[in-house]
Amino acid sequence: MLTTVLRLGFVQLRVLDLSAALVHYRDHMGLDLVNVEGGRAYLKAYDEFDRHSVVLREADTVGIDIMAFKLVSDQAVRDMIPELEKRGVTFEFIEKGEQPGVGERLRVHMPTGHQFDFYSEMALSDDGPMVKNPELWRNEPKGMRIVRYDHCALLGDEIDASAEILIGILGFSIAERVLDPEGNNIALFLSCSNKAHDVAFLKAPVKGKLHHASFLVESWSDIGHAANLMARRDIKIDIGPTRHGITRGQTIYFFDPSGNRNETFAGGYHFYPDNPTRVWTIDNFGKGLFYYEQEVVESFVGVYT
């Protein structure tokens, strides 16, 4: 089944203090601020064409509001409806313009308690990558030199059901899975692209939680640079620089001022839908999480927003 998803489009996160969040996401991470309106800040990375990929909403709670995917066409969005109805999955439409520059979105209430939005229209940024005799970049990447918003890992209970929607309706593939001794999935890494994952579900007896929002950097060198900058600017590193066994990504985890976990991510293999699914058993989960440490770090698993 061919996926109709163009890409993971944007994430909307809740932050306690928008000003402090902008210092983090704009000044430290180096995202470009597009605009602030209605209590939300819109940002993008230097290598993204669309208007925005990160939305920060000031709120009294932290965590994730929306994980949003851009589909190839409005028809592809509409084609989801009978399939959702067949499965008894709740959905609604979010009107065009609820976010500046974004068309109508189909909001799906996922069994894990997350809101996934699907849309086909977003305005192009007027500050995206150059297209006429393009330079590498308009301006040298700054801060942590984030290339793009990359993926999210989400915590919830019904991870198989959420995954089935993405797989059965939209053609996602399972790149990797982690099994408990009974053979149940306790973590699923799903791809709708040539990335090792676009979204991961981690099983936990909660609804709608965020484990981390991840951002691509170019290389292990830039992972090192990001670590230097985090330490220099007193950004709390959760773990890293290290490497995942799962996805093979090189990584640092750290927190935004509201306590949402972020990741800078590099490397990771190139995935194709016909690749065999990589399977991890629970006794090797430590190595899967952190290939160098080879152990499950409790604070990493237990802390989320």
- Is 197 in the active site? yes
Residue 200 makes contact with a second copy by CB under 8 A: no
Measuring CA to CA, how many Å separate 166 from each of 44, 49, 204?
A: 25, 24, 19
Q: What is the three-class DSSP state of 301? A: helix
Q: How near is the Cβ of 183 to a second copy at its closest, in Å?
A: 13
| Distance of closest approach, residue 231 Cβ to a second copy, in angstroms | 5
Between CA 204 and CA 152 the distance in angstroms is 16
- The CB-of-157 to a second copy minimum distance in angstroms stands at 25
The DSSP bridge partners found for residue 10 are: 68
48-78 burial, b for 16+ CB within 10 Å, e for fewer? Answer: bebbbbbbbbbbeebbbbbbbbbbeeeebbe
Using CB under 8 A, pick the residue from 57, 109, 148, 207 that binds a second copy.
Answer: 148
- Choose one: 91-99, 109-117, 204-212, 265-273; the region binding a second copy (CB under 8 A): 265-273
For residue 85, indicate whether it is catalytic.
no
Options 149, 151, 211, 304, the catalytic residue = 151
Cis peptide before 241 (omega within 30 of 0): yes
Contact range with a second copy by CB under 8 A, out of 55-63, 84-92, 101-109, 291-299 = 291-299
Segment near a second copy (CB under 8 A); pick from 35-43, 83-91, 132-140, 159-167: 132-140
Find how far residue 253's CA is from the centre of its chain: 13
Whether 211 is a known active-site residue: answer: no
Lateral strand order in the sheet of 115-119: 32-37, 40-44, 54-58, 5-15, 63-71, 115-119, 105-109, 91-94
Task: Return the number of the residue (148 or 207) whose C-beta is nearest a second copy.
Answer: 148
For residue 238, CA distances in Å to 1, 13, 85, 212, 270 come to 38, 19, 41, 11, 26
Site for a second copy contains 298 (CB under 8 A): no
280 lies in the binding site for a second copy (CB under 8 A): yes
Distance CA 141, CA 132 (A): 19
Q: Is 253 a catalytic residue?
A: yes
Residue among 46, 119, 253, 304 flagged as catalytic: 253
In angstroms, the CA 51 to CA 181 distance is 45
Examine residue 93 and tell whether it contacts a second copy (CB under 8 A): no
Both structure tokens of 114 = 């997350």
Active-site residue, from 58, 114, 244, 304: 244
Nearest 5°: phi and psi at 132?
-105, 115
Question: Which phi and psi angles does 256 have, rounded to 5°?
Answer: -80, 170
Q: How many residues bind a second copy (CB under 8 A)?
A: 64
Q: By CB under 8 A, what part of segment 211-250 binds a second copy?
A: 218-221, 224, 227-232, 237, 240-243, 245, 248, 250
Binder among 195, 197, 211, 261 for a second copy (CB under 8 A): 195
Task: Examine the residue annotation and report whether 263 is marked as an active-site residue of this protein.
Answer: yes
Active-site annotation holds for 270: no
Q: Is 278 in the site for a second copy (CB under 8 A)?
A: yes
Active site residues: 151, 197, 212, 244, 253, 263
Binding site for a second copy (CB under 8 A): 2-4, 6-7, 47, 49, 70, 72, 124, 129-137, 140, 147-148, 193-195, 218-221, 224, 227-232, 237, 240-243, 245, 248, 250, 267, 269-270, 272-281, 284, 287-288, 291-294
